[in-house]
A and B are shown apart, each in its own frame.
Chain A
Amino acid sequence: NAGVTQTPKFRILKIGQSMTLQCTQDMNHNYMYWYRQDPGMGLKLIYYSVGAGITDKGEVPNGYNVSRSTTEDFPLRLELAAPSQTSVYFCASSYSWTGANTGELFFGEGSRLTVL
Chain B
Amino acid sequence: AQSVAQPEDQVNVAEGNPLTVKCTYSVSGNPYLFWYVQYPNRGLQFLLKYITGDNLVKGSYGFEAEFNKSQTSFHLKKPSALVSDSALYFCAVRDTQYGNNRPAFGKGNQVVVIP
Specify whether A and B are partners. Answer: yes
Complex CA gap A92/B90 in Å reads 15
Q: How far is the CB of B31 from chain A (nearest CB, A)?
A: 11
Q: What residue of chain A has the Cβ atom nearest to residue B94's Cβ?
A: A103
Cβ contacts under 8 Å, A33 to chain B: 102
Bitwise, A74-105 to B at CB < 8 A (1) or not (0) is: 00000000000000001010000100001111
Bitwise, B77-96 to A at CB < 8 A (1) or not (0) is: 00000000000001010100
Bitwise, B81-115 to A at CB < 8 A (1) or not (0) is: 00000000010101000001111011110000000
Residues from 35 to 93 in B contacting A, C-beta threshold 8 Å: 36, 41-46, 49, 51, 90, 92
Complex CA gap A106/B103 in Å reads 13
The answer to whether A105 touches B90 (Cβ under 8 A) is no
The answer to whether A42 touches B108 (Cβ under 8 A) is yes
Instruction: Count contacts between A and B, CB distance < 8 Å.
Output: 55
- A19 CB-CB contact with B under 8 Å: no
| CB contact between A90 and one of B32, B44, B51 (< 8 Å): that residue | B44
Chain A positions near chain B (C-beta within 8 angstroms) = 4, 31, 33, 40-43, 45, 48, 50, 56, 58, 90, 92, 97, 102-110
Known pairs A43-B90, A56-B101, A110-B41. 4 more at Cβ < 8 A? A48-B101, A102-B94, A107-B45, A108-B43
